[in-house]
Chain A
Amino acid sequence: EAGVAQSPRYKIIEKRQSVAFWCNPISGHATLYWYQQILGQGPKLLIQFQNNGVVDDSQLPKDRFSAERLKGVDSTLKIQPAKLEDSAVYLCASSLVSEQFFGPGTRLTVL
């Protein structure tokens, strides 16, 4: 079974630039999550989708972050404009029932 795919794996940008991350969940998994993991901390949920609807985006900084999941499969997370404090690993996960499966993450560095 193929795992959760994410791209790119690494991204370096300057502050105020825009960046987008892509996630392809495990086939058949209806629920998709985006987490932010800052160095030295555990992952923090940014947004949760059930199919293509948002279930929880309470911790998503909506002034600069946006996410979509068209057709209930792939998802993109965008940051516009980026700030220095956005430097982190962005993890995508998917689940069928309760267990979440994580992708390799995208390491973002904002200079």
Chain B
Amino acid sequence: AQSVSQHNHHVILSEAASLELGCNYSYGGTVNLFWYVQYPGQHLQLLLKYFSGDPLVKGIKGFEAEFIKSKFSFNLRKPSVQWSDTAEYFCAVTILTGGGNKLTFGTGTQLKVEL
């Protein structure tokens, strides 16, 4: 079964610092990749997704992620974080070989941005 690893469980940054959150998955076949965000008190919402094509995808609020197939990675980046980016971030994967649309999530990274 596929698995998703997020290496950083808690990250604390100052405003304007750059952000990179790691995500690796274990499945060797064709995948769709997602980053979801959960702001305090709110529900999970999609930040960005990769299905095919350009491996550098841009999402909402200035976030981007790069799919590196050889490394089974889909790291999330933002050049300059804001206090409002404080949230929990989840990487997720679906496999495309009859697995339906089943999302497998990582354990999440809690990001705190300090003023």
Contact = CB atoms under 8 A, between A and B. Distances in A.
The judgment on whether A and B are partners is: yes
Interface of A: 3-4, 31, 33, 40-45, 48, 50, 55-56, 91, 93, 95, 98-105
A103 B102 contact: no
Contacts, number: 53
Interface residues of B, number: 22
B51 interface: yes
Which 3 residue pairs are nearest across A and B when measured between Cβ atoms? Answer: A42-B105, A102-B44, A104-B43
A102 B43 contact: yes
B101 A98 contact: yes
Contacts of A101: 46
B86 interface: no
Contacts of B45: 102
A95 B104 CA distance: 15
Nearest to A4: B43
B107 interface: yes
22 contacts: A4-B43, A33-B103, A41-B108, A42-B4, A42-B90, A42-B105, A42-B107, A42-B108, A43-B44, A45-B102, A48-B101, A56-B102, A91-B44, A93-B44, A95-B101, A98-B49, A98-B94, A98-B101, A100-B103, A102-B43, A102-B45, A103-B43
B103 to A, nearest CB: 6
A8 to B, nearest CB: 15
A98 B32 contact: yes
B103 A99 contact: no
B100 interface: yes
